[in-house]
Amino acid sequence: MQKIVIVGGGASGLHLATRLGQYFSFTPHLKRRRQSPIAQVTLIDKNRTHLWKPLLHQVASGALDANMDALNYQVHARHHGYEFQLGSLVALDRKRQVIELGPLNDEDGRELVPARQLEYDYLVLCLGGRSNDFHIPGVRENCILLDSSDEAQKFHQNLLNHFLRLETRVDDKLQVAIVGGGATGVELSAELVDAVKRVGDYGRIRPNAMEITLIEGGEHLLPALPKRIGNNAQRELAKMGVNILTNYQIAAATESGLTTACGKQLPAAIRVWAAGVKAPEFLTQLDGLSTNRLNQIEVETTLQTQTDAKIFAMGDCASCIDSHHQRVPPRAQAAQQMADLAGNNLIALLEGKPLQHFYYRDRGSLVSLSQYTAVGNLMGALVKGSLAVEGRLAGLAYRSLYRMHLAAIHGWPRAMLLYLIGQANRAVKPKLKMH
C-alpha cells in the first residue's frame, strides 16, 4: 500500500486529504469502504481543529465564535477515509523517505508524546504562510500577527479587556493601529468598527471610543487589486471613521505604538501586523529542498518540488511559475486550485497515468467590509475581462466563498445543513462574542 503524507491542514491540505481519502478508501458514490485500498492518506497538523483562514479577522473582532465553526480533524478523518496525526514537522530525510515530527507537550511543557518518525511514498507540503515582519525591530515582540486561530482569539481577549477599561472610564479612548492595507487589514478595520458599535449596545461605550488607523506602504489599499477597488474600499472605511495612511513605511514597533520611517509617532494600545506573507523559515533547512528568498519551496508546473519528484508543495509555501509562465500569487483561490491539481497528479502517479500541469485561473477577489458592504472584482467564463462589484452583490458573492469551502470538505448536503445551523445560531445568540 502506498503512503501519502500531507503536512498542513489548512484549506488546501484539508481539501486534498478529503478528496484522496474518499477516492482511495471508498467505492464510487461512497457506498462502502474498499476492501484493499491502494493508498493510505495521512494528514499532519499541529492543531486539533481547522478554521478557514479568511475568517480569522471575524474571530479577532468577536463576530465569529471559533469554537462553534472549527472542524475537528480526527472526527472529519474518520468520516472521509484518511488518518489524522497531531504533530509538527521538524525534519526530513529524503533518502529514507521519512519525516520526523516533534514531541507533543501539554500546557505546562510536560512531554505527552515523544518525537516520532513517519514513512512516506509521496509527501505533500502545504504549510501556508506567515506574516512577514521584514526584520523591522519590535514587530514580533509588540504586534499581534493574525496567522492562526489561537492568535485571533488572543487578540479578541485583549480587545475585550480594553473594552472593559473603556466602559469603566479607566481609559477615554482605545487606539488601534493596523499595518497592512491588504484584505486582512481592510476586513479587520471594518469588523472593529462594527464590534465597538455592538458592544456599545450592551454597555456604556461611545461609538467613537475606538480610534482605528490603517497603514499601507503603497499608494492605495488592496494593492493586489485594481486601484479603483482599493479606492472604493478606502472611501467606505473613511465613512466608517477609519483613519487611513497610505505611502507610510513602519520603522519600528514598541509597547506604546509605531514609528514611521519619517519619524512620525503613532500611539496605539493594540498593534496588528498584517503586511506581507512569507513561508515558515524552517523550510529552508529541509534536507536540501530548493527555496526562494521568501522561504517558499520551488516547484515544477506539476507541483512536484524541483529537488525531489516524490515531494509536492502547494499553497503559500510553494513558489510556482505556472504553465503560462505567470507567477502564482499567495492567495486562497490559488491554493485551492493547486489542491485540485495535486490530487489529480497523485492519483495519476499511482494509476500510471500522465501528469497534468498547473495553470492559475484568476477568479477575481472579494473583500468584506463587515455588515456594511463588500468590494472586489469577478473574473471567469461568465464575465469577460474584470467586473468590479460592490454592495449587496459583492457581499453575497463573498459569503458564497465560505459555502464553497464547506462543500469541498463536507459535500453540499452537509454544507447547506451547516449554513442553516449557522443562521439559526445568529438568530438566537448575541451578535458579538463577549467572552
- Report the percent of the chain where pLDDT is more than 70: 92
C-alpha 333 chain-centroid distance: 11
Q: Does the pLDDT of residue 381 top 50, yes or no?
A: no
Domain that holds residue 264: 132-221+228-276
- Each residue of 280-306: pLDDT tens digit? 999 999 999 999 999 999 999 999 999
State pTM to two decimals. Answer: 0.91
Average pLDDT estimate for 323-338? 91
pLDDT of residue 242: 96
Whether the pLDDT of residue 32 is over 80: the answer is no
Q: How far is CA 34 from CA 37, 81, 226, 235, 410, in A?
A: 6, 10, 49, 56, 20
95 and 146 both lie in a single domain: no
Q: Give the end of a domain, one of 326, 351, 376.
A: 351
Which of 321, 351, 381 finishes a domain?
351
Please say if the pLDDT value at position 223 is more than 60: yes
Mean of pLDDT values over 319-340: 92
Overall number of domains in the chain: 2
Q: Answer yes or no: is 42 within a domain.
A: yes
Does 294 share its domain with 239?
Answer: no
Based on the domain organization, do 139 and 207 belong to the same domain? yes
Same domain, 266 and 295: no
419 lies in a domain? no
Least confident segment among 71-85, 237-251, 404-418: 404-418
Give the per-residue pLDDT at 369.
Answer: 86
pLDDT score for 28: 58
- 295 and 266 housed in the same domain: no
Residue appearing with cell numbers 494528514 = 43
User: Between these two residues, 203 and 105, which has the higher pLDDT value?
Assistant: 105
Longest Cα–Cα distance of the chain, Å, equals 70
Number of helices and strands (H, E) in the chain? 11, 26
**Mean pLDDT of the 123-149 span:** 94
pLDDT, one tens digit per residue, over 385-417 is 566 676 666 777 777 888 888 888 888 888 888
Q: Is residue 389 part of a domain?
A: no
Angle CA 360–76–156, to nearest 5: 80
Q: What is the pLDDT of residue 378?
A: 73
Whether 266 and 144 map to the same domain: the answer is yes
The predicted structure's pLDDT at residue 397: 75
